[in-house]
Amino acid sequence: MTGLREHLHGLWLPLVTPFQGGRLDETSLRRLTRHYCAQGIDGFILGATSGEGMTLRDAELERLVAIVRDEMAAGRRSLPLCLGLSGADTSRLKERLDETADWPIEGYLIASPYYVRPSQRGLLAHFEALADHAAWPIALYNIPYRCAVNITNQTMLRLAEHPNIVGLKDCGASREQSIALLRDRPKNFRVLTGEDANYLEALTDGADGGIVLSAHVETATFAAILGEMKRGNHDAAQARWHEVADLTRLLFTEPSPAPAKYWLWRSGLIDSPEVRLPMVEVSSELAAAIDREIERRMQVAA
């Protein structure tokens, strides 16, 4: 497996972490890995937002990585793994980088420090310290509506000069900022959208791909959209996008990943829709709406 920079493009799946009875559901995790390795994805994000990483104990996170890697080896398809890490303490994050340095991964996805709202100088110093320390390359995760701080393009372009910072998951919620970054970024700095509802829009603007929770459900369609865009078939990509645009809203009607987990449970890919507090399972109203959409898509497919 070569470096993360070479692999950070295309359709990446931020894999949900299945639980049952309060524990990591290893059987469902193996089933998920086998299923998605047979689909058109280009890599996995493990233990990040969609994977409820902030509720995972260190041993669970390590087991999660080991099982996914083991299942890929058994299926003879090796996809790059990027480990989600987050925190507001630079020193503690450096310790976590040390603790995971020998894990079978290709890199890290690291969000901005939450709650403390550092300045841009603080963000620059934080990420540079992590990048200097990390054994694996880092993709930044800019998501100001969760972290209460935005990495400006000026700061981002400084960070993009670091040899161990290879790209960005862009959830900046500003198309203007994203377009400017795509225009000004270094040639080898990858940008993937993390906003499902803006997937086609971001590809149109020049993003290198997406990290898309909704691709748990319509994997082939999201892959096809990317393929049509690469071939310059914008009308065909738009037509395929109409098949999933509503899905990207439905799966975020309530806090993610509960809706996606409910869908995967109803589809038989995981054995329980269980999430960990403070997440709660979907409401009865949303469950009914998802059931109706599953039935509708089954009828269309038939």
Contact 217, 11 (CB under 8 A): no
- Whether 141 is catalytic is yes
Where do the H-state alpha helices sit in the chain?
Answer: 4-7, 26-37, 58-75, 90-99, 120-133, 144-147, 153-159, 175-184, 199-205, 219-230, 234-250, 258-266, 284-301
Given the structure tokens 């040639």, which residue do they identify? 187
Q: Which of 36, 108, 169, 262 is catalytic?
A: 169
Print burial letters for 167-177: b (CB count within 10 Å at least 16), e (below 16): bbbbbbeeeeb
Contact 1, 34 (CB under 8 A): no
- Neighbouring CB atoms inside 10 A of 82's CB total 29
Q: Which of 16, 158, 185, 4 is nearest to 170 (CA)?
A: 185
> CB pairs under 8 A, 24+ apart, for 60-66?
60/24, 62/100, 62/103, 63/24, 63/26, 64/17, 64/24, 64/29, 65/103, 65/104, 65/105, 66/104
**DSSP state string for 271-293:** S-----TT--PPPHHHHHHHHHH
Instruction: Respond yes or no on whether the N-terminal peptide bond of residue 144 is cis (omega within 30° of 0).
Output: no
User: Is 50 annotated as ligand-binding?
Assistant: yes
Q: Which residues contact 140 (CB under 8 A, 6 or more apart)?
A: 110, 127, 151, 156, 159, 165, 167, 168, 169
User: Is 290 annotated as ligand-binding?
Assistant: no
* Radius of gyration in angstroms for the set of CA atoms belonging to the chain, rounded to a whole number: 18
Contact 29, 51 (CB under 8 A): no
Q: Which of 36, 108, 141, 262 is catalytic?
A: 141
Catalytic residue IDs: 141, 169
Please enumerate, by residue number, every residue annotated as part of a binding site: 50, 211
Please enumerate, by residue number, every residue annotated as part of a binding site for pyruvate: 50, 211
